[in-house]
Amino acid sequence: MSAPPPPQPSRDRSLQARTDALLRRLVRRDAATALRKVVRRSRPEDIAAAMEHLTWAEQRRLFSVLDDPDFAATLLAHLSDESAREVSRALSRDTLADLLDRMEPDDATDVVAVLPESMREEVLSELTEEQEEVRELLSWPPDTAGGIMSPLVFTMPQTATAAETIRALQDRHDEVETIYYVYVVDEDDRLVGVTSLRSLIVATPDARLSEIMTRDVIHVRPTEDQEEVARFVARYDLLALPVVDEGGHVLGVVTVDDVVDVIREEAAEDMMLMAGVTEGPERGVMQQSSSRAGWLVATLVGGILVAEIIAGFKTALEQVAVLAGFIPVIIGMGGNVGIQSATLAVRGLATGRVHLGGALTFVWHEARVSMLLGLAFAALLGIYGTLRYRQEPLLGLSVGASIFLAISLAGVLGASIPLLLERVGVDPAIATGPFVTTLVDLLGIVVYFNVALILLGL
Amino acid sequence: MSAPPPPQPSRDRSLQARTDALLRRLVRRDAATALRKVVRRSRPEDIAAAMEHLTWAEQRRLFSVLDDPDFAATLLAHLSDESAREVSRALSRDTLADLLDRMEPDDATDVVAVLPESMREEVLSELTEEQEEVRELLSWPPDTAGGIMSPLVFTMPQTATAAETIRALQDRHDEVETIYYVYVVDEDDRLVGVTSLRSLIVATPDARLSEIMTRDVIHVRPTEDQEEVARFVARYDLLALPVVDEGGHVLGVVTVDDVVDVIREEAAEDMMLMAGVTEGPERGVMQQSSSRAGWLVATLVGGILVAEIIAGFKTALEQVAVLAGFIPVIIGMGGNVGIQSATLAVRGLATGRVHLGGALTFVWHEARVSMLLGLAFAALLGIYGTLRYRQEPLLGLSVGASIFLAISLAGVLGASIPLLLERVGVDPAIATGPFVTTLVDLLGIVVYFNVALILLGL
């Protein structure tokens, strides 16, 4: 073999951006030969990432020039759900079934799960026997341990020796998702221990698995939420986590690479939900506008309610027009504190730092923080209002008192609403959006005008 | 050996919450014996997670009852930065150095890095020779590949055989961070390939590494940002990633468990930054209030500016008081669209879907989405305004035109500001907070009153 090439340079972001631009240009020019050349010297994961910047039509065109089915299968497994659906729809049933046959069953299941209902049955019936696990995996909800596990798990009886186990791994390494952990079962096929390839390698060859295994196996039920699975893998630094049914039988294994994807997805999802956006920037203008409009309708309804409340104080406004000037700052400060508290609650719930058992402690903490902040900013804005409008000596006091109340209420609401949503089983990330801000706006305005009416004697 | 215990039940959240509550109660009662009993039947990772719900004083008290130094070392390595600092400060230099000696060098480095400057040198001088890598690791910024890597990397010459490599792994498995990948080097010690323990196990024993290795090794430079490292590990489903200097020499390895932590931290950090909170709910009331106040000061300054602008339109307000009623909805809708676009930009930059090379495409896309949304909501609010205030026939038109302009501007600003910040090297996540909302508030108000003045002829 000739001398190896020197290590390649680190793939940096600007290089990635150039590859993306090159691919896009070639796809638009329909330059199939040049495209194939670029693809051939790239990794399928990189082409998959670049494809996310293309339109559906361009993605399908690029996919159609691929001539290596294994490359195409890996690429398809690495696409986002939406892209995988759009690309798959354009393929013939045969071609798609062939690509799915080349994937790990858990990856194949992810692709089948995003297909339109009508296609799913047709494609499933085309799969070979080896892929019949796909149908079983589809029966678990996609965001549970069962939905992200691979059924290709390696188990050995506890009476086997280290040498026998290594031999079995050598024979069956192609059929299992990970060979780095060996799950040990008893005569009734129930999980009783775990050992690692690392331990096997250093154990004496005739040591029995029952002697070298760890008995306290961290595992999950198939119905466990994928966020909880991710928390386990992160906390115990695991490479894989077995999925076990009520009877103690191993159904499958969730590997760390899938968990990495889950963590990335869930974080993006939480952040997007908090801002009321559900579709990424790669979606079409109409599609994205309509997905964002729902959240804005809530803001609009809240805004009209606020407008009605303010209209009710028409006479007061005609007497002291500068009252209107403080509306934005009062609802702005209240809204911000509410979002801060809600963000801490949402993140805390996601990481496990905040939990329903400690709800009162958390809300009381946020109440004290927001009252302290309310006091500080009430003083600042109160002084500004008093000095600025000396002809209305009590205007500063009204503004100060209102800001204190608005900020305090916002902190308590922002902290509690996500916890309440979690309690009733709704994703708390939606709380920081329209719920908290609209409620805080309404309350802030009601407080402000009522305080002003009383103090200014309008 | 007696019959193995049946598999333990899944640790669910409510169980976790009960353990947390029990620990807290015992710590507050100072029940050292009972505490030790609970700790002894728990994993260090679980105690570390539970400790994050305790105050500093309680954390120190709990830590002081631990009697197994290996348990204590693992626990300390799994604490958050702040907790690790607070617990370490209370330990004698000897005890701390002993605990650090029991950790992997990368974990020890993380703990030393969070110590107060004054303690760091003292503790470093107490470490044994085996831990002298810690000092080297400290020289890399903590959020780079160098800062999160472990120097305990397993390399073999390309002329070694599979059998020799497995023997070497058996001898040295204790001294390396991961044995699942073997990095292959040439005679000048430069990285030329990689192979996995999986391939070694199935290879013929006398196969040379140069024959079974993969030559195209995905690797990073030590100065690479940790987010980029995480992106690589996620994209290529790696268990570890070698860190290589300019000369091609392997400096260390970043393992997937550290990457999982990075992804979780970065996601939390982005979300918190977007809401202007830098400290979690576990911090003291004063500390958290002051960290949140900075962001609110920006809102306050923006709010006072808005108040001044509105005060400038005092006469118009005295004539048409209901003008004030639409202030909240105009800045609210603008602010929300701005936050939506900014969130898409921040998440897109974090995941690589949006990049500076494609900035114009992204901003133009957001501009079209926000103009479409602006048109739709201008129509809705315009119709409401016209029907509600028939005595001012042009009020609805003013409100509609303003909301269209405010939403369109907000979308463009929200999409561009994070990209501009990324361009100048500032974390774009701070953009969705005060920058975008304050700017959008100001512009929205200026547009609204000017449109109203013209159309209503005030």
Q: What percent of chain B has pLDDT over 90?
A: 46
State the CATH architecture for B13-137.
Answer: Alpha Horseshoe (1.25)
Please give the backbone phi and psi of residue B90, each rounded to the nearest 5 degrees, phi first. -85, -5
**Cross-strand partners of B249:** B190
- Please tell me whether residue A241 adopts helix, strand or coil conformation: strand
Is residue B458's pLDDT more than 80? no
Distance CA A74, CA B116 (A): 48
What integer pLDDT is reported at residue B144 of this predicted model?
93
Q: Which of A185, A271, A437 to mutate to probe the B interface, most B CBs <10 Å?
A: A271
Homologous superfamily assigned to B285-456: SLC41 divalent cation transporters, integral membrane domain (1.10.357.20)
Q: Provide mean pLDDT across the span A140-162.
A: 93
Distance CA A107, CA A74 (A): 9
Q: Which of B261, B330, B369 to mutate to probe the A interface, most A CBs <10 Å?
A: B369
Which residue of B lies nearest to A237 if distances are taken between CA atoms? B257
Which residues of chain B lie closer than 8 angstroms to A244, CB-CB? 7
pLDDT tier, A212 (very low <50, low <70, confident <90, very high otherwise): very high
Place of tokens 């907000």: B410
Q: What ipTM was estimated for this complex?
A: 0.79
For B195-236, what is each residue's pLDDT tens digit?
999 899 889 999 999 999 999 899 999 999 998 899 889 889
What integer pLDDT is reported at residue A149 of this predicted model?
93
Residue B321 to residue A321, Cβ atoms within 8 A: yes
Distance CA B181, CA B408 (A): 52
Answer whether B124's CB lies under 8 Å from B139's CB.
no
Residue A190 to residue B282, Cβ atoms within 8 A: no
End-to-end alpha-carbon separation of chain A, Å? 93
Taken in order A397, A398, A403, A406, is the CA torsion positive or negative?
Answer: positive
Which residues of chain A lie closer than 8 angstroms to B179, CB-CB? 198, 201
Mean pLDDT, rounded, of chain B: 87
Which residues of chain A lie closer than 8 angstroms to B233, CB-CB? 260
Residues 6+ apart with CB under 8 A from A375: A404
What integer pLDDT is reported at residue B424 of this predicted model?
86
Is residue B126's pLDDT more than 80? yes
What integer pLDDT is reported at residue A55 of this predicted model?
80
Place of tokens 């013209």: B454
What integer pLDDT is reported at residue A102 of this predicted model?
92
What integer pLDDT is reported at residue B98 of this predicted model?
92
What integer pLDDT is reported at residue B431 of this predicted model?
64
Q: What percent of chain A has pLDDT over 70?
A: 93
What integer pLDDT is reported at residue A11 of this predicted model?
46
Which residues of chain B lie closer than 8 angstroms to A28, CB-CB? none
What integer pLDDT is reported at residue A7 of this predicted model?
37
What integer pLDDT is reported at residue A9 of this predicted model?
39
Please give the backbone phi and psi of residue B167, each rounded to the nearest 5 degrees, phi first. -60, -45
Residue A369 to residue B173, Cβ atoms within 8 A: no
Residue A211 to residue B1, Cβ atoms within 8 A: yes
Distance CA A329, CA A396 (A): 13
What integer pLDDT is reported at residue B281 of this predicted model?
59
Q: Provide mean pLDDT across the span A33-61.
A: 88
**From 3.10.580.10, 3.40.50.2000, 2.40.50.100, 3.30.420.10, which CATH number describes the B155-263 domain?**
3.10.580.10
Most confident of A300-304, A452-456, B219-223: B219-223
Nearest Cα neighbor of B219 from B241, B247, B194 is B241
Residues 6+ apart with CB under 8 A from B18: A357
Instruction: Provide the whole-model pTM.
Output: 0.79
Answer whether A120's CB lies under 8 Å from A134's CB.
no
Q: Which of A175, A285, A389 to mutate to probe the B interface, most B CBs <10 Å?
A: A285
For B244-273, what is each residue's pLDDT tens digit?
999 999 999 999 999 998 888 887 787 787
pLDDT tier, B10 (very low <50, low <70, confident <90, very high otherwise): very low
What integer pLDDT is reported at residue B266 of this predicted model?
82
Domain ranges of chain A: 15-139, 155-261, 285-456
Is residue A131's pLDDT more than 70? yes
DSSP A124-163: HHHS-GGGTHHHHHTTS-TTBHHHH-BS---EEETT-BHH
What integer pLDDT is reported at residue B16 of this predicted model?
65
For B151-202, what is each residue's pLDDT tens digit?
999 999 999 999 999 999 999 888 888 888 999 999 999 999 999 998 998 8
Please give the backbone phi and psi of residue B392, each rounded to the nearest 5 degrees, phi first. -120, 80
Please give the backbone phi and psi of residue B338, each rounded to the nearest 5 degrees, phi first. -60, -45
Which residues of chain B lie closer than 8 angstroms to A257, CB-CB? 234, 237-238, 256
For A359-418, what is each residue's pLDDT tens digit?
888 899 999 999 999 999 999 999 999 999 888 888 899 999 999 999 999 999 999 999
Residue A186, H or E segment: none
CB neighbourhood size of B206 (10 A): 9
Q: Provide mean pLDDT across the span B325-351.
A: 87
Residues 6+ apart with CB under 8 A from A315: A458, B321
**From 3.40.50.10490, 3.10.580.10, 3.50.50.60, 1.10.10.10, which CATH number describes the A155-261 domain?**
3.10.580.10
CATH code for residues A15-139: 1.25.60.10
Which residues of chain A lie closer than 8 angstroms to B261, CB-CB? 234
Mean pLDDT, rounded, of chain A: 87
Q: Provide mean pLDDT across the span B138-147.
A: 91
Residue A304 to residue B18, Cβ atoms within 8 A: no
What integer pLDDT is reported at residue B121 of this predicted model?
86
For B365-393, what is each residue's pLDDT tens digit?
999 999 999 999 999 999 999 999 888 88
Residue A324 to residue B310, Cβ atoms within 8 A: yes
Residue B288, H or E segment: helix B285-312
Which residue of B lies nearest to A258 if distances are taken between CA atoms? B237
Residue B267 to residue A272, Cβ atoms within 8 A: no
Residue environment code for A86-122, b if the CB has 16+ CB neighbours within 10 A, otherwise e:
bbbeebeeeebbbbbbbbbbbbbbbbbbbbeeebeee
Residue A300 to residue B329, Cβ atoms within 8 A: yes
The residue type at B407: I
Calculate helix-pair angle for A434-456, A285-312, nearest 10 degrees: 20
What integer pLDDT is reported at residue B3 of this predicted model?
37
Q: Which of A15, A249, A340, A384 to mutate to probe the B interface, most B CBs <10 Å?
A: A340
Question: Which tokens is A215 given?
Answer: 């008995």
Residue in A263, A275, A366 closest to B260 by CB = A263
For B15-60, what is each residue's pLDDT tens digit?
666 777 788 889 888 889 999 998 888 889 989 988 887 888 889 9
Question: Which tokens is B215 given?
Answer: 């030559």
Residue A248 is given by DSSP the state S
Which residues of chain B lie closer than 8 angstroms to A321, CB-CB? 314-315, 317-318, 321, 324
Residue in A233, A235, A380 closest to B49 by CB = A235
Nearest Cα neighbor of B57 from B81, B89, B32, B31 is B89
pLDDT tier, A231 (very low <50, low <70, confident <90, very high otherwise): confident
CA distances from B367 to A279, A291, B355, B361, B430 (A): 16, 16, 17, 10, 21
What integer pLDDT is reported at residue A6 of this predicted model?
36
pLDDT tier, A336 (very low <50, low <70, confident <90, very high otherwise): confident
pLDDT tier, B350 (very low <50, low <70, confident <90, very high otherwise): confident
Residue B325 to residue A310, Cβ atoms within 8 A: yes
What integer pLDDT is reported at residue A431 of this predicted model?
63
Q: Provide mean pLDDT across the span B2-9.
A: 38
The residue type at B77: A
Question: Which tokens is B24 given?
Answer: 């807290």
